[in-house]
Structure 1
Amino acid sequence: MNFPNPDSIHSNAAITAIGSYVPERVMTNADLEKLVDTNDEWIVPRTGIRERRIAAEHEYTSDLCIAAVQDMIERYGVNVEDVDYIIVATTTPDAVVPGVASLVQARFGIARCGAVDVQAACAGFASSIQLANGLILSGMCRKVLVIGGETLSKVTDYTDRTTCILFGDGAGAFLMEKVAEGGQGITAMHSSTDGSLGHHVYLSGLSPLIGGQPIQQHARLVQNGREVYKWAVTQVSEGITGMLTRYGLQPDDIDWFVPHSANMRIVKAICERTGIASERTLTSMGDYGNTSAASIPLALDSAVREGLVKPGHLVLLYGFGGGLTQAGVMIRWSL
């Protein structure tokens, strides 16, 4: 998608607060050795994942999202009762209807606000920021709550050694607000999709086919890792490079790169192809695994807590995955 050039994006939609939450239960690589034929020596070099968090039996995506918002409120002292819109990025909602965003609205008693779930898999959080940015820049909203939350453990096949080592649970939240004109906020965006490859990552629904391709209907995540790797390394790298070129940026202009934490091999390959330094790349996979829509805010919030990301830093958030969809957002950090 060809978004406007920098001169026509008025950077007055800024991140004013951030929060996150992960479940208490930790599943280590040693724990997985008891379930499938794998071990830490095999998992870490291929994925970079040492452990992941697992939601409790009666803990669902809405619970994680609500806890992430509560963390944001307690840390920044912000008020969410006057939020105009709630956008939740998730592939694992509590139910098809009502959406997770509606459950968040109910918990915080936010009156007269819109609420919608976005299903763009691992690109969901960056896509939701794009949508929130549009709502603010259009003048329709002044305050938007953007959340990425997943309970992937509930749809993971723990007999499949190629996928069960990857996924974990967690949630992260941003508060986006209209601020005075200036150098902070959203400065660049990019998005593209190749639905013809959608059958390489899926969670079955009503149809036995995806794009004419037969699928397994067992309500568990299925992924063709080899094909996803090829697509991510080539197409996502091209998407990032094209985004930088369009906005007149060089890889060294980016202070922090926050890609979806798919696995370390993919992230390293993307850094090599785009020229973005790996030491300026933030991920959450080591401690939390692949948390799909939650991976970007989890990684960024960890760095914010550590004092690494500072006001004025140029931060590139880039999600990619199921769809196959990719979405990028460049932010001049303001917290």
Structure 2
Amino acid sequence: MISYSKVCLDTFGYELPPRTLTSEDIENRLAEVYERLKLPQGRLELMSGIRERRLWPDGTRPSEAATMAGEAVFANGDIDRTAVECLIFTSVSRDMMEPATASFVHNALGLPCTCLIFDISNACLGFLDGMVMLANMIELGQVQNGLVVSGETAEELLESTIMALIDNRNLSRKTIKPAFASLTIGSGSVGLFMRKCGDAETKPKLVHGAWQANTAHSDLCHGNQAGGKSTLMETDSEELLHRGVETAHQTWKLFSSTPGWGAEDIDGFFCHQVGTAHARLLFDTLGLELDKNFETLASFGNVGSVSAPITLARAIEENVYRPGHKGALLGIGSGINCLMLGIEWGK
């Protein structure tokens, strides 16, 4: 477990892609596959709870998406970009293998040459891991502030998956299942400026955290290049659901063992948004009130590492999470990893 006393979550910013792709749109493209396999229309939204997801214009790079979120942070807060001391890029999506995608974001945002930059990759937990790394440096006095950004680009994965399903004449109801999770993915970007707390702090503070790794199940979700620029994923959604919730249960035991961080103490949960069945099983297993779960799933889909932080950002924007509240960020990533972070907003 970890604890902090000096770390402030100063300003969030995010960017929503301009295109909307509904679950009905996807099923219309897969109509011949649905007819051949006798799958009912509406199945995708019914099973996932996702009505639509957002997509960038073709060719948008992860660094460009993350840069838009960074600019939104600067627009939302009184922040001097020339004084930013650290930049961490945290997406599943990356521009290329080398150099670090953070280098493109750093240049596009016009950050100073004294700014420490690097990428963190840990599936859907990347942004929360970036928060922990930056918080550690702030707590130790190595930096006074920093920016965490993520820009997920789902377009290639969605298109590759749809085309692969259309082209595969040997599909069955069983063999189509590993592709289902790929149809729930959406695009988006988010950024967070964190800094050392002031003497009379008025912004939310990161104060608590716990994690668990359950890597015996690292074979349940794999994403790979499938030739050319085609990207495909195979996910055992049902087993990943149960093993992920199992890992979250162990993490919650650690997280909630700290006084003041039990289920009754927390006003809102801001989770990695995967699906409605996942949320129900997670909150039931952890013994939490589902009404405390703020959701963005229906409109955004699963936005990878962007999902949990953009959900918190929206909750702040809509005054659902506000001064006087305690909140918990909860992320589960393939691997399997789980990370929970406690945020306290003084009155």
Indicate whether the TM-score tops 0.5. Answer: yes
2:186 & 2:346 partners in 1: Cα distance?
29
- The answer to which of 48-57 and 28-37 deviates more is 28-37
Gaps of 5+ in 2: 166-175
Aligned partners of 2:22 and 2:52 also within 8 Å: yes
Q: Which residue does the alignment assign to 2:282?
A: 270
Deviations 1:277-304 (Å, cap 9, x if unpaired)? 1111122211110011000122112222
1:252 & 1:240 partners in 2: Cα distance?
13
Q: What is the SS of the residue equivalent to 1:78? A: coil
Q: Which runs of 4+ in 1 moved over 4 A?
A: 181-184
Identity of aligned residues (%): 20
Alpha-carbon offset, residue 125 of structure 1: 1.5
1:57 & 1:321 partners in 2: Cα distance?
27
Change (3 A) 1:39 1:309: farther
Q: What is the SS of the residue equivalent to 1:92? A: coil
Aligned partners of 1:171 and 1:297 also within 8 Å: no
Deviations 1:31-66 (Å, cap 9, x if unpaired)? 111222366632233211100011221212111111
1:181 & 1:129 partners in 2: Cα distance?
21
Q: Which residue does the alignment assign to 2:255?
A: 243
Aligned partners of 2:326 and 2:345 also within 8 Å: yes
- 2:194 is equivalent to residue 176 of structure 1: yes
Q: Which residue does the alignment assign to 2:128?
A: 126
Q: Which residue does the alignment assign to 2:83?
A: 82
Deviations 1:192-213 (Å, cap 9, x if unpaired)? 222221111112269xxxxxxx
Of 181, 202, 208, the match for 1:188: 208
Change (3 A) 1:181 1:237: farther
Alpha-carbon offset, residue 95 of structure 1: 0.9
2:199 & 2:237 partners in 1: Cα distance?
44
Alpha-carbon offset, residue 313 of structure 1: 1.6
1:39 & 1:299 partners in 2: Cα distance?
31
1:333 & 1:117 partners in 2: Cα distance?
28
Change (3 A) 1:320 1:59: same
Q: How many residues align?
A: 319
Of 184, 189, 196, the match for 1:166: 184
Aligned partners of 2:14 and 2:68 also within 8 Å: yes
Alpha-carbon offset, residue 247 of structure 1: 4.5
Deviations 1:139-191 (Å, cap 9, x if unpaired)? 11111101232112323422265133210101111110001367852221112
- 2:61 is equivalent to residue 49 of structure 1: no
Aligned partners of 1:260 and 1:283 also within 8 Å: no
Higher Cα radius of gyration: 2
Q: Residue type of the partner of 1:190?
A: A
Aligned partners of 1:188 and 1:247 also within 8 Å: no
Deviations 1:43-100 (Å, cap 9, x if unpaired)? 2332111000112212121111111111122122322221111111111101111222
Of 241, 245, 252, the match for 2:264: 252
Alpha-carbon offset, residue 101 of structure 1: 1.4
2:189 & 2:116 partners in 1: Cα distance?
20
TM-score, scaled relative to structure 2: 0.86
Q: Which residue does the alignment assign to 1:147?
A: 149
Change (3 A) 1:136 1:170: same
Gaps of 5+ in 1: 207-216
Aligned partners of 1:15 and 1:333 also within 8 Å: no
Deviations 1:88-116 (Å, cap 9, x if unpaired)? 11111011112221111101221111111
Aligned partners of 1:283 and 1:296 also within 8 Å: no
1:108 & 1:120 partners in 2: Cα distance?
24
- The answer to which of 109-118 and 12-21 deviates more is 109-118
1:40 & 1:28 partners in 2: Cα distance?
13
